């Protein structure tokens, strides 16, 4: 089995949200925009690999502050992860994300995520 990259995982997440679920769950906080990731099982199925194979990637992505996992709540992007996901969606799937969110909301999310690249996420 070949090694995965974070880009492949984020790509799979975007495809699931935009083409399969046709739904995006977003949490706005004072300091961040967090996007709910699909479950690890759904991602593994989409990537056509065993569930246990992708779990270590999520542990590493959490250590590298790209996602946060909360038991019984799910996986959400951090500020850094939101930036990565929004950039990917803007570059490859703009039409699909605007169909779900609308152009003005997507533009606002881009401003709040991509427009803050130089800022550090405060600890809570």
120 found inside a domain: no
Expressed as residue numbers, the domain containing 74 is 6-115
User: What is the per-residue pLDDT across 61-118, written as a single tens digit (0 to 9) for each?
Assistant: 999 999 999 888 899 999 999 999 999 999 999 999 999 999 999 999 999 998 755 4
User: What is the per-residue pLDDT across 65-77, written as a single tens digit (0 to 9) for each?
Assistant: 999 998 888 999 9
Any idea what the CATH number is for the domain that residue 94 is in?
A: 1.10.10.10
40 found inside a domain: yes
Q: Where are the beta strands (DSSP E) in 41-123?
A: 67-70, 74-77
121 found inside a domain: no
Residue 42 in contact with residue 35, Cβ under 8 Å?
A: no
Q: What is the mean pLDDT of the chain?
A: 91
123 found inside a domain: no
Cβ neighbors of 119 (< 8 A, separation 6 or more) are 79
Residue 81 in contact with residue 67, Cβ under 8 Å?
A: yes
The predicted model scores a pTM of 0.88
Per-residue confidence (pLDDT) for residue 116, from 0 to 100: 55
User: What is the domain count for the chain?
Assistant: 1
Per-residue confidence (pLDDT) for residue 85, from 0 to 100: 97
Per-residue confidence (pLDDT) for residue 73, from 0 to 100: 86
34 found inside a domain: yes
Residue 31 in contact with residue 107, Cβ under 8 Å?
A: no
Of 66, 49, 39, 35, whose CA–CA distance to 1 is shortest? 49
């Amino acid at each position: 089995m070949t090694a995965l990259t974070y880009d492949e995982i984020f790509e799979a997440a975007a495809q699931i949200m935009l083409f399969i679920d046709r739904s995006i769950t977003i949490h706005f906080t004072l300091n961040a925009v967090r996007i709910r990731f699909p479950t690890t099982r759904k991602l593994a199925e989409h990537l056509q690999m065993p569930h246990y194979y992708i779990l270590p990637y999520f542990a590493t992505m959490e250590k590298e502050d790209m996602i946060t996992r909360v038991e019984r709540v799910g996986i959400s992007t951090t500020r850094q992860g939101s930036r990565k996901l929004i950039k990917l969606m803007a570059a490859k799937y703009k039409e699909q994300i605007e169909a779900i969110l609308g152009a003005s909301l997507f533009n606002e999310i881009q401003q709040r995520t991509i427009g803050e690249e130089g800022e550090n996420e405060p600890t809570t």
